[in-house]
Amino acid sequence: MGWFEFALAYVVFFLSHSLPVRPPLRPRLQARLGASGFTLAYSVLSLAVLSWLIGAAGRAPHVTLWDWALWQVHVPLTVMGPVCLILALSIGRPNPFSFGGARNDLFDPARPGIVRLSRHPLLLALALWAAAHVVPNGDLAHVILFGTFAAFALLGGRLIDRRKSREMGPEWQRMLDRGAEAPLLLASLSGGTLLRLAAGVALYGALLWAHPLLFGVSPLP
């Protein structure tokens, strides 16, 4: 049953992330829930299924691929700091190049924010999170879990680039070029950015505290 639940959770996870965002389902859901309501419902669903998937990986039969060592714990502890900052700087910000952007019509290529560093900051955060968690989880189920997420994040950016460049036409490259000219450190420095950085630090602390409650494992050495 352990492998069956893991496989089932995987199928449900990918279906829940692909079907709601495609026509004709997405327009219908947005018409009923509104744009903000759809984003909220989609986020809650994603987190719920993700929690189930991670739990199912822990309940799958343990097949050791490499032995655990204390140093491995420090990899996700270190990497999750930047991940939390990337999330704080990305969520709810205009980003016409990727998914998850809000008020994309207000995007200013001269002040692109986190988009100056990555067109797909949420996918970057996902890739870093997944790759970092492979290291201290050297059993088959978790390597499949986190390895697939890392590969999905890396390949997903290319797929989104193709779709967005097709939808936006020449404007896609023009906005990219303008954003690349923005000063790297001053691209979006403002009071709002500082508050988001503080929120990222708070998120990191909250994850350290909640990790044992959510996943049954302390992230600390």
At residue 139, the 3 state secondary structure works out as strand
- The pLDDT value recorded for residue 188 is 56
Same domain? 96 vs 158: yes
Does residue 221 belong to any structural domain of this protein?
no
**Number of domains the chain is built from:** 2
> Is the residue at 83 inside a domain?
yes
Tell whether 220 is covered by a domain.
no
Angle between helices 191-215 and 74-90 (to 10 degrees): 130
Given 24, 42, 61, the domain boundary residue is 61
> What single string gives the DSSP state of each residue in 207-220?
HHHHHHHHHSS-S-
**Structure confidence by residue, pLDDT tens digits, 36-78:** 777 788 878 888 888 889 889 989 999 999 999 999 999 999 9
Check residues 163 and 203 and name the one with the higher pLDDT. 203
Checking if the pLDDT of 92 tops 60, the result is yes
Task: Answer yes or no: do 79 and 179 share one domain.
Answer: yes
The rounded distance, in Å, linking the Cα atoms of 209 and 183 is: 36
User: Are residues 73 and 8 both part of a single domain?
Assistant: no
Question: Residue 139's pLDDT is what?
Answer: 95
Residue 189 has a pLDDT of 56
Q: What is the pLDDT of residues 14-38, one digit of tens each?
A: 888 777 767 787 788 878 887 777 7
Do 44 and 151 share a domain, yes or no? no
| 132 vs 31, higher pLDDT | 132
Quick check: is 29 in a domain?
yes
- Which of the two residues, 81 and 188, has the higher pLDDT score? 81
CA angle, residues 52, 57, 12, in degrees to nearest 5: 45
pLDDT, averaged across the chain: 86
The per-residue pLDDT for 13 is: 87
In a domain, 84, yes or no: yes
Domain that holds residue 16: 1-61
Q: Which of 25, 43, 61 is the last residue of a domain?
A: 61
**Predicted confidence band at 190 (pLDDT cuts at 50, 70, 90)?**
low
Mean pLDDT calculated for residue range 135-151: 93
Domain boundary among 20, 37, 61: 61
25 falls within a domain = yes
Q: Residue 186 above 60 pLDDT? A: no
83 & 48 share domain: no
Confidence of residue 201 (pLDDT cuts 50, 70, 90): very high
Residues 74 and 140 in one domain: yes
Instruction: Verify that 27 and 89 share a domain, yes or no.
Output: no
Mean local confidence (pLDDT), 130-158: 92
Q: Is 43 inside any structural domain?
A: yes
Question: Quick one: pLDDT at residue 187?
Answer: 52
37 and 116 in a single domain? The answer is no
Same domain, 74 and 143: yes
Residues 129, 23 share a domain: no
Q: Is the pLDDT of residue 85 over 70?
A: yes
CA-based R_g, the chain, Å:
19
Rounded to 5 degrees, what are φ and ψ at 64? -75, 130
Indicate if 167 and 111 belong to the same structural domain: yes
Least confident of 39-43, 98-102, 142-146: 98-102
This prediction's pTM: 0.84
Instruction: Mark whether 15 and 46 lie in a shared domain.
Output: yes
